[in-house]
Each structure stands twice: as C-alpha cells, then as structure tokens.
Amino acid sequence: MTKPYYVTTPIYYVNGMPHIGAALTTIACDAIARYQRMLGSDAFLLTGTDENAAKVLAAAEQQGEDPAEFVCGLAAEFRSCWNALHVEYSDFIRTTEARHTLAVQECVRRLIATGDIYRGEYEGWYSISDETFFRDSEVDNGFANETGKPVVRVSEPGYYFRLSAFADRLLQHINSNPQFLQPESRRNEVTSYISEGLRDMYITRPNRGWGITVPGDESCVVYVWLDALVNYLAAAGWPDEMEARNLWPADLHMVGKEIFVRFHATLWPAMLMALNLPLPKQIFAHGWFTVHGAKGGKTGPSLPHPVRLAEFIRDRSGCTIAAAVDAERYLLCRTMSFAGDSEFSVSACLQRFNIDLANDLGNLVNRTVNMTCRYCGGLVPQPSDAPQPLAEFVATVAHDVAAAMESVRLNVSLDAAWQLVSRMNKYLDEHAPWALAPRAAAGDAVAAEQLGDVLYAGLEASRVASVLLYPFMPEVSRAIRQQIGGECGASPPTWAEAAWGGLKPGSRLGSAEPIFPRIRETNVSHTELEDLASRRSPVRQSGQAGTTVTNESAPAPVGQEPITIEEFGRIDLRVAEVLAAEPVTGATRLLRLTVHLGGDDTRTILAGIAEAYRPEELEGKRVVVVANLQPRVMRGIESKGMLLAADSDGKAILIEPDQSAPLGARVR
Ligand code: MSP
C-alpha cells in the first residue's frame, strides 16, 4: 500500500478565537493536500488544538470558566471555522484527548529510560505568552528580547531533555538534506542557532492541575512544547498503530516562522532522533501577516476572524458565501509571500478581489459562457483542425503551477495560474468574438470557424483554470465547471485534466451566473475593521490595555463604537467592601470574595485576580462592583456580580473610590 502524503498544520492555542494568520497556515495545508489528492495520492491533512498550555489555563480562568469546558468550546470554534473555510482535514487532534496524553507519556517514559530525559533544577525566565523559557542573556528588563513579551523568574525542580547531545546529528541531517528545512533563508537561521551551542532543555512545569503529568511523578506536567509536538506522532498512531496507519514520517509540517527555529527545526527532530524514529521529510516556515501600525509580532487578535471576513466579502460583493470563502482562500494565499512577512489590509483584499477575481477570472468565465450561449446556442463549439495556439501555453502554465505547489510556493503557483487567465482575456480582446459573430451569422465561413476556435479556447482556458485553481478555490472551481458544461461530479478533478482539449464539443453549457460580482466600495472604516477583528469575540484575550471588568465581558478596545448614556445607565455600579477573600480550590487565578454592598446586601463574587492580589490584601478594601450582572456558577460556586479592574498587560488593578464613599453608593 502506498503511503499517504501526510501534511500537518501547527496545532492552535485555544486561548482566543481563530484569525486569518492561523487560517492562512490551515488553508495553505488544505491546498497542498487537495493538490496531492489530484495527483492520486491519498493525502492526509492533520490539524488540531493545543490545549495544555499555561496561557490557555490563564485565559479560561480569566473568563471564570472551567478550563475543560473552555477548551471544548474553543476547539469546536476552530473546527467549525475550518469547516466553514472549506478545509478538508482528515483528522483534528486535541491535546487533551486520551490518544495524545498516552503518546506524550510514552514518549517521556521512553526518554527517561534512555537517559535523554533526566531530573534537575531550573532557574531562569519563562514567558507565558510565548510559552518559552529564556536565558538571562535573552531577557532585558523583564521582557524577552526576541518577542517583547513579559517574562517571569522561575526556580523549580523538574526534568531536562538532553538536547545538547543532538547538535552534531542535527547539523549533519540538515546539511545533507537541503529539502528538510525550507525556505533556505530560514534554514540558515537554524544552522546558526544550533552552531552557537545547544543546551539541554528544561521540559516540565510544576503541576497546577492542568497539563499532562510526567509518568511516575505527579508533581510535574510536561512542558507544553514537548507535549504539543507529539501530536504529529499521536495522530499517526504512535506508539502502537504506527505501522498500520502508514502515515509516518510526515511529508510536510507547515508552520509559522516564530515556531520554526527553536521548536520544529531543533527540538522536534532531536526528540525523534532520541526516540529512534524517522524525521519528517520537510518542515516549511512561512512569514507572518502583519497589521499596519501594530508593533511587530504576529498581531493575531487584530487580524480579522476568517469567517467574519468571508461574510464581509459576501456582503460587499453580493456573491455567494461559498464564493466569498474561496475568494478569501485565494486572497490569503496570493497576498502572502511565503518567504517573508506581508502586510495585511482588508481594503487591499477588496481591491484585489475586484482586479483578480471580478475582472480577470470572473470576467473570463462570464463573457465566454455568455457569448457561447448567444452565438452558439449554449453548446460547446467544435474547434477547427488548425493548431490551437493556447494548447502549448497551457502545458507550460500547468507545469509552473505544479512546480510551485511541489515547493510550497503557493503565491508563485497562483501567479502562474493567473498567466493563463490574463493571456486568455487578452486573446479574447484581440480576436473579438463579438465582431466575428455577426459575420459568421451572415454566412462568412472563415469568421464562423474563427468564432468557434476563439470561444472553444475561452471555455477550455476557463476549464483548465478551474482545474489549476481547485486546490485554492474548490467551490468556485466547481461552479466554473458547472457553467462551462464540464464534468463536475462529487469527486475533485485530477491534475491530468489540466491538459488542453478536455471539453467535449456539442456538450451543453450551464447558465451564466457571475461568480464574483464587483465590489463597489473598497474603503473599510475603522469600525468595520474593529468588528472584523478576531479579538472581538465572546472570548476575552488577556493582556489588553484599557479598563475592563474582571471575570466577564468581551474585550473593549479603546475607541470602539460609542454607547448611549441610557445604555450605560443599565449597568448598576456600586461601591462595596470586601469582607473576606479566599482562594478557590483548583483555580489559580480565582479568588472567592465576600462583598458587602451596604444594608443587608452581602454576596459572593468570584474574581480572576489571584495573581495580582493576596487574599489578606483585599480584606477591608473598598471596590466598585457591577451589581446587576446575571449570577453565574463557576467551580460550583455562584458568583453574583463582578469587580471593576484596570487590565495592565494582563495584570488586574482594582478600581477603588479615592475617598471613603458610603457602601452601596451608585457609581455613574
Ligand atoms: N500551539 C503552538 C503550535 C504548536 S505545533 C506543535 C502555536 N500556536 S499559535 O496558535 O500561537 O500559532 C500557530 C500558528 O498560527 C503559527 O505558527 C502560524 O502558523 C499561525 N499564525 C499565527 N499568527 C500569525 C500571523 N499573524 N500571520 C501568519 N500566521 C500566523 O504556536
């Protein structure tokens, strides 16, 4: 049995909603898997969610939600997002699943047995936001130099992975397999990183009730990166069903650049070497989408939510949601330079929609089908025996598209496909079938023959384009084939169908429907952008500036839509005093507060402030409470209201009246 082509996306942290950065990686992998299926391979696309991270736990606690329920909700969000984006994944792995936990524990067990994992003490820096340990030399003033994210000092007993022992083998493998790490520029970063000297890696954290415990030592959980990487093996059936599944080694791990050097290109192959397992054939790192004005970083939360963006495109164009989703798939892959970063702009996407999709592709299909209906009775015309000038060109284009797909240059592949679309539009303009038609109708046999050739060429170019673009725009590809009367059953086209001459003369066309109606207004207002942003979700992201309310509510980015005074008046804010505060068992960020709002109003409120305040600091403190919030049960305790706090980089700072305002006084 031939081994399926095995391609993986990174597994996404479920501390926030999906955004188009994650969508790009996922769509790119889907396009590659679809292309492989067109070639006849039984391609297997793996995606999933990374759920055991400290930042995921922190996000759940900040929401006041049970972490297990929280991750379930977000994993479902990711799954439904990929479904909506026409991603045909073969498996969706969650790191809280038993098959993953078993694989991670087996990996640790085996590496302890070989001596590649050993006990030790760790003292250094940890960034929760990056889920990365940093050395003293990599940190400046409490922030990681590489990412600018805050770090905390950690000093704890745990376990190390003997990474240093693999430096030479890693370099040797990288140097003798040029395809292993791509693109080349990033491979050089890896070789410099390894050559500078690898140190053993600390690979556990203290057990705070979340994560996969070290087998035989309940006091530690496995560091989330060592845990997460094993997903690629777990989904391939490791340890027991690896042979039966016949997936490993992976053909391609596609990842973003920030998780390439340290993790995918160094730690992961070293782990596989230690386990005596074959290495993946290729690890490919793409750059980031950045947002104008945002300071560095991958700026995920400011990027649009992928489904909202598709709906926005649909609303602006009037196209179907299926066409809008495919347009987004196309726009993301075409805009992204796979070697470097690219700036993302919704307005630029809309402009490109008009140029590439409405004008070029849409117009080619629409005018060809329309003219064939008008001039040839809606039947595919019979081309003459004269050599077809575009046949050879199509073969070159198909070859270029395939070569770019093989080397994961998806934007280059789309550039090549567009050569055909542009050339054919030019060909139609040059041969003007609208001028040939009246002459043909008047009995001019030469004009009639030319008309048949030109329209056949237009239909055939549309058909070939629908084949070449299928990996990126599966539903649009189908719609094109439906209109030109091509074969478009349930199964995808094969790559062989990209050869010239597939349309049968005499077959009947479908009706001409514009697939991509032109967008009239390509400007996008600030409010619309804010509405599209993935941070504007029911899920609150940590670390946002601005005054927020602990435990509850969507984030309120500064400068958001105004509310009326009446709307504000519906919130009953009261001065209150904290009578007692105590930790909540199993929840590291929650405190249980007994709060007095004056008179006989004493209630329990759960607040996600345990990391910022010790219980004894809170007793007797005057605070501001949202008194009319719907009660909510968390960790089996009913919380009635919440405290106001400023959010300073994820740290809560309680709002206090600056004089001793009476208890129960209204705040407005
Ligand atoms: N959980 C880890 C991956 C573990 S894989 C064993 C992780 N997750 S993540 O959710 O933070 O990011 C996953 C991927 O999302 C990145 O590698 C990258 O592919 C993609 N992107 C996130 N933000 C992005 C942009 N702004 N632009 C492009 N892609 C980005 O890291």
pLDDT in tens, 205-258: 999 899 999 999 999 999 999 999 999 999 999 999 999 999 999 999 999 999
Among the listed ranges 50-59, 316-325, 533-542, 649-658, which one has the minimum average pLDDT value? 533-542
Q: What is the pLDDT of residue 558?
A: 36
- Sequence-ordered strand ranges (E) for 601-640: 602-607, 622-626, 632-634, 637-639
Q: What is the pLDDT of residue 540?
A: 32
Selection from 603, 548, 609 nearest residue 578 by Cα? 603
Is residue 546 over pLDDT 50? no
Phi, then psi, of 386 in degrees rounded to 5: -60, 150
> Cis ω on the peptide bond leading into residue 239 (within 30° of 0)?
yes
Separation in Å, CA 9 to CA 253, 260, 287, 294? 6, 12, 14, 25
Q: Whose CA is nearest to atom 25 of ligand 1?
A: 21
Between CA 416 and CA 399 the distance in angstroms is 9
- Give residue 21 CA to ligand 1 midpoint distance, Å: 7
Contact 117, 203 (CB under 8 A): yes
pLDDT in tens, 167-183: 999 999 999 999 999 99
256 pocket-lining for ligand 1 (C-beta < 6 Å): yes
Is residue 601 over pLDDT 50? yes
- Give residue 47 CA to ligand 1 midpoint distance, Å: 12
31 pocket-lining for ligand 1 (C-beta < 6 Å): no
pLDDT average, residue stretch 71-75: 95
Contact 255, 285 (CB under 8 A): yes
Contact 645, 652 (CB under 8 A): yes
Between 238 and 298, the more confident residue is 238
Q: With bands split at pLDDT 50, 70 and 90, how would you rate the model's confidence at 186?
A: very high
Give the nearest ligand 1 atom to 289 CA: 27
Q: Write down the mean pLDDT value for the chain.
A: 90
Is residue 306 over pLDDT 60? yes
Q: Which of 304-313, 551-560, 652-661 has the highest mean pLDDT?
A: 304-313
Between 293 and 217, the more confident residue is 217
What is the CA 631 to chain-centroid distance, rounded?
34
Q: What is the pLDDT of residue 485?
A: 82
Q: Whose CA is nearest to atom 12 of ligand 1?
A: 12
130 pocket-lining for ligand 1 (C-beta < 6 Å): no
232 pocket-lining for ligand 1 (C-beta < 6 Å): no
Is residue 649 over pLDDT 70? no
255 pocket-lining for ligand 1 (C-beta < 6 Å): yes
pLDDT average, residue stretch 508-513: 90
Residue 506 tokens read as 């005499």
Q: What is the pLDDT of residue 608?
A: 85
Q: Whose CA is nearest to atom 17 of ligand 1?
A: 256
pLDDT in tens, 141-161: 889 998 888 899 988 999 999
Q: With bands split at pLDDT 50, 70 and 90, how would you rate the model's confidence at 490?
A: low
- Give residue 254 CA to ligand 1 midpoint distance, Å: 10
DSSP string of 26-85?
A: HHHHHHHHHHHHHTT---EEEEEEE---HHHHHHHHHTT--HHHHHHHHHHHHHHHHHHT
CA atoms within 13 A on the CB side of 653: 10
Residues of 214-238 as b/e, b for ≥16 C-beta within 10 angstroms?
beebeebbbbbbbbbbbbbbbbbbb
Give the nearest ligand 1 atom to 290 CA: 26
Q: Whose CA is nearest to atom 30 of ligand 1?
A: 21
Give the nearest ligand 1 atom to 53 CA: 1
pLDDT in tens, 442-453: 999 999 999 999
Between 653 and 543, the more confident residue is 653
pLDDT in tens, 314-352: 999 999 999 999 999 999 999 988 778 898 999 999 999
Residue 420 tokens read as 């055909």
Look at strands 143-144 and 139-140 and give their pairing. antiparallel
Between CA 136 and CA 6 the distance in angstroms is 39
Q: What is the pLDDT of residue 539?
A: 35
Q: What is the pLDDT of residue 547?
A: 26
Is residue 116 over pLDDT 90? yes
Among the listed ranges 398-402, 488-492, 566-570, which one has the minimum average pLDDT value? 488-492
Q: Whose CA is nearest to atom 26 of ligand 1?
A: 298
Contact 309, 346 (CB under 8 A): yes
Residue 223 tokens read as 């560091």
- Give residue 19 CA to ligand 1 midpoint distance, Å: 10
**Pocket residue to mutate for ligand 1, from 15, 17, 19, 25, most atoms within 8 A of Cβ:** 25
Is residue 1 over pLDDT 80? no
Is residue 440 over pLDDT 70? yes
pLDDT average, residue stretch 520-525: 94
Between CA 94 and CA 52 the distance in angstroms is 9
Give the nearest ligand 1 atom to 298 CA: 26
- Give residue 495 CA to ligand 1 midpoint distance, Å: 31
Q: What is the pLDDT of residue 548?
A: 28
